[in-house]
Structure 1
């Protein structure tokens, strides 16, 4: 009698990805409550849905205030674990103890071959810092650097303290700008830090520029000192820029004080929808981003892929998208006169603004394609899973 044999298949490598996930884009019941985009996370999720091409068992882990108890969903061949998120302030003051315990328990149950953590602002990096297996951190904030460049509230400083505790435990770290690479090396000198762009949401690639008939500039971001917003307002209060309109989108601690001293050419929009943001970017002659330090601000990346010239400072990762005098101007920090001079040059006439925006646009579009981010992740997964470190 012949022997019956069964073919055995090797187990798939388990990858746990911990990130703030745009649940509204993945699950219908959250669509009205979660409007976040996070294009690189969304694109990676859908790329891994074709996991038969990669052979991985994918587990996503996310914290959310939209659930009251842990939930587990199976979507497109992947497992999504949603953990209730409590008070962020309490989590910071307890060094993320509660969510860390929940995350570690979950990791013990799924036993990942590789852990990929996105960001240092929430609990994920602290929760996984002592994970003994292979782990990858994709750095998003630069919290310690921000505290060094502008005053921050206590909880932000606490986040920066925890950033320094966590980051040094990761041997493999990705950053989205050379500036961020340098900042990480300051706090984690022994880590292997590499550059990986986090791409731009697809809709920005399809926007047409329709600059307004009269000169206008746009700023989008948090209204606080780190963004250099007070120097921007000071520049536009000068009589030389009275004919140029400035539209400011965002909210923050400096809004009331700066609004009170604004001139009629400065318009405060508050928090705006993505559609309104895109309309203002389309009609603006340029984006002005006078930051005191930034990792790689989305607003600059979005402006550049749609062909908008940018005036920004020399401090931050956004400088890699702007060539001084060609696709915008790079100026010193804390210099309202330099802002004013750059705006006058760029708004001299409509054609200048259009032509400068076209310079380097294709390079930025190639660099900031979200599929490039996905491939960067997949390449690192393959390399790390096949390595002995």
Structure 2
């Protein structure tokens, strides 16, 4: 506990933790001030993300980068799940689907690209487990195919709309089962294939595992609380800032929702632990596509005003497919340099500019 308090004292970014109680109080006292709540929630999520990053690094140092990456992706995706459930209850299905597609694109292009860039600027060439990357990329590609099918066969008729709903439920179950089989394969039956590449930059003594797990739990709870305030205020604040719903869901919500994972991925890359960064980036994207999205589809029958399907608008599917194909191409060698990260970031910039200047018709 002393080490944790010392870390908060020495890291000025963690001083922003004071905004956590401020935004929680502001949400009760002035719930209509959406722009103020939006800014305060972003300021509160950033230090919580950093705290979550440090705790996850400590757990990963004791459990290995493969399990650490999975743990970070799972905890980080709780934010996306909270955002999705909040929007689901409000019937904002366009925002739900935009945040899902945006999280997949952001994690594969921005998070992974920035990790390669930051790590490459400090280390000339970095290596990572190519087998793990291929597995996560294959799972991602399978999930995008499942999302492509309902969109490809959709038509204007009511009959096809009902068929799309039934197909989405079946595909959601298949995706969740596939995700479970992938975990069983990588963590149980063939775990020896997914060991991290050894590096010489990991001589730090991690803090107590109990403190790290407690920090993870507390930070995750507060991230969820602040994220709910964020999603309730982001739409109104976006109008005042001149942002479109497509840009908000695809870019803003995805970046804020993934802040915790990004902090861990970037820190791991700088410490030459690229397996942790790749595990977080691709693992998080695969988890969203194979678990979070299907769960939201199934939960829409319980908490949503109407059932939600896996049918995305065409440009969203194209962008997700582009992101996955770009990652498959650049990660094939199992080695990375800063220019590889720059290429992924440029692809992300192209997609972000397209959404900002010419947003798709979501409804």
Task: Please indicate the TM-score interval, normalised by the length of the shorter structure.
Answer: under 0.3
The structure whose Rg is larger is: 1
**Greater per-residue helix proportion:** 2
TM-score, length basis structure 1: 0.26
If the length of structure 2 is used for normalisation, what is the TM-score? 0.27
Tell me which protein shows more strand as a share of its residues.
1
